[in-house]
Every structure is written in structure tokens, then in C-alpha cells.
Amino acid sequence: EVQLVESGGGLVQPGRSLRLSCTASGFTFGDYAMSWVRQAPGKGLEWVGFIRSKAYGGTTEYAASVKGRFTISRDDSKSIAYLQMNSLKTEDTAVYYCTRLIMVRGVINWFDPWGQGTLVTVSS
């Protein structure tokens, strides 16, 4: 069974950092690009960013709202994707979902599956 499990969420003060982890199982992790999507309380889905597989350079792309503050990385030997969040703001409060993505000709086509999510609360 393909499964993604996020961890690392919690309460953090504005300006501080937090690192989320996404542990994958049930598929060859290194063959896939991975993405993070967040959902603020009572709001819709917001794409955060993604990391390509090593075969495609392992490069990253980010939404404008997090660019320069968030960094996505991966450890294929452990089947884990990370989201390093720095200079956190109150508006970063959200449930963060990890998801595997399917890319065709360099374009994201869809996300499947999704993890259960981990809540990040940024507050003083």
C-alpha cells in the first residue's frame, strides 16, 4: 500500500523555524517528485512547492508566498521528503500535507496519494 506519513508539526513562535518530514512507503520513492500543500484553518488548499526526482535534477520550485523562507529536500535512501520552514509568520499556520506528484513533460499533472497532514501553528 502506498502511504505517506507527515510528522514534525507543532506550535512555534513567529520568526522561528520548523522542519516537517514526510516518510513514504509502498513505492520506489526516488522515482517520484514530491510536493507539499497546505490548508489554513477553514480555508482552501494552497500549493507550497515541490522537488523533482534525482533523475530530473532534484531541483525545487516554490509558491511566491514561501519562496526564500521554505526549502524542500529529500533523502531517497530513507524515503523521506522534508520541508524546512524558516522565518515563520502567523499566516503560515495551516495543516501541511505531503503528496506524491505525477509529472509529464516537466509539468505537474496530478497529486496522489496524500498524507494525513500535520498541523503547524505559528503564534506567540
Query: According to the binding rule CB under 8 A, does residue 112 interact with other proteins?
Result: yes
| Cis previous bond, 113, omega within 30 | yes
* Degrees to nearest 5, angle at CA 46 with 56 and 57: 10
Candidates 21-29, 51-59, 77-85, 110-118; binding stretch for other proteins (CB under 8 A) = 110-118
Query: According to the binding rule CB under 8 A, does residue 97 interact with other proteins?
Result: yes
CB crowding 82-93: b at 16 or more within 10 Å, else e? bbebeebeeebb
Which of 47, 52, 74, 88 contacts other proteins by CB under 8 A? 47
Give contact residues for other proteins (rule: CB under 8 A): 35, 37, 44-47, 50, 61, 63-64, 97, 102, 107-117
